[in-house]
Amino acid sequence: MVRTLDSINFASKRVLLRCDLNVPLKEVDGKRVITDDGRIRASLPTLEILLAGGASVVICAHLGRPKGEPKPELSLAPIGKRLGELLGREVLFAEDVVGPSAKAAISKLTPGKIVLLENIRYEAAETSKEESERATLAQKLSEYADFYVGDGFGAVHRKHASVYELAKLLPHAAGKLVAAEVEVLEKLTKSPLRPYGVVLGGAKVSDKIGVITNLIEKVDVLAIGGGMVFTFLAAQGKTIGTSLFEAESINTVKAILNRAKERGVELALPTDVVVAPKFANESPTVVSVDAIPADQMGLDIGPESSVAFANAIKKCKTVFWNGPMGVFEFSNFAEGTKQVAAALTKVEGLSVVGGGDSAAAVRALGFKDDDFGYISTGGGASLEYLEGRELPGLIALQ
């Protein structure tokens, strides 16, 4: 059980808050524009509690994978600007992490004020495999604050300096977001209302083998879409054209298919797919999974499959979904993902959208956060929790 913010007195304390502000951006007229601010919004409840309690806050976060080097396109500056807009107050921005800019900004902090440090992953020690290097960085960060709050759920599966080592150096607690994520994931793993359905998509089946293997023992319905489904179809002996395919996962997928049959799990695989001659938003054709042309690639589940998946989802009382059903960024191949999302909004129970591309997809397709029971901020972290792994960032907060 992680320690939460309840009953902690933050008056006049300086708090180092680890957030997950790893949001998608794109270039528009020479400026970097945030395309989905969901993770920034998810950080607001904890920030508001700390500020209302009289704390000053130093925010530590990452963006992308700069691999220990400053990269202008991965600066947190535009995230700080958006955070200030959402909070309705100034967010000071430090142009480094443990350098003169950070130290100068933090020295001026007073209760109710916020400093956002530059991308923590500009520091190679943050993600170093050497514990001593991570510990040294954590020690420097610990000098900024009296208290540590871990609220970056999307990073709790990483043994990084600001996630794991830092929490051991200061009095600590989990933020509202992390506490909420853990509560939802416990419902999915310990006492799900049944029927319990899981919908998985995305590009690679190898990324989801662990969670499928674990959940196949617990679920009543398992639906597979996205690029990963073509390895399943190939394991059934079907030809898949030029679709994404992982030959090294075939035997594992066959074992999953056999185990699903042994347990009586309702396994939903597409019966039709939308194909195109290349990875582009053009020339969509609906074909049976038994008749995928040799020169075509599957880019979405088909309309017949979308209806079948939706029907399987709507009869469940608990549903976890991670990974789009197709290339939702292309309008011609977004319908499968849209139909699955719409079905989740009709679940009479708990519907959980499992972070990452799934969260971005539902917002891009016009759905609102409150259309679902819960939208997770951490795709990878959620999956590892559902695999049954221990997450370093949660261990550190116990």
Told to judge if 380 belongs to the known catalytic residues of this protein, a careful annotator would answer: yes
* Cβ atoms of residues 285 and 275 within 8 Å: yes
- First-to-last C-alpha distance (Å) of the chain: 6
Annotated catalytic, 204? yes
Give the list of residues 6+ apart from residue 98 with CB closer than 8 angstroms, or none. Answer: 123, 137, 140, 141
Q: How many CB atoms lie within 10 A of CB 94?
A: 22
Q: Please name the helix (run of DSSP H) or strand (run of DSSP E) that holds residue 239, with its range, or none.
A: none
| Bridge partner residues of 16 (DSSP) | 58, 148
Residue 207, CB-side half-sphere exposure with 13 Å CA sphere? 17
Which alpha helices (H) appear in 124-220, and where do they start and end?
131-142, 176-190, 209-215
Which of the residues 32, 187, 204, 263 is marked catalytic? 204
Q: Which of 14, 39, 134, 338 is catalytic?
A: 39
What whole-number distance in Å separates Cα of residue 314 and Cα of residue 197?
9
Catalytic-labelled residue, pool 201, 355, 356, 379: 356
Q: Which of 71, 259, 380, 389 is catalytic?
A: 380
Query: Which residues, 6 or more positions from 334, have their beta carbon under 8 angstroms from its beta carbon?
Result: 300, 326, 327, 328, 365
Task: Give the C-alpha distances (Å, rounded to integers) separating 347 from 7, 167, 202, 206, 343.
Answer: 35, 38, 22, 29, 7
Q: Mapping DSSP to helix (H, G, I), strand (E, B) and coil, where does residue 372 land?
A: coil
| Residue 156 DSSP one-character state | T
Residues with a catalytic annotation lie at 39, 204, 356, 380
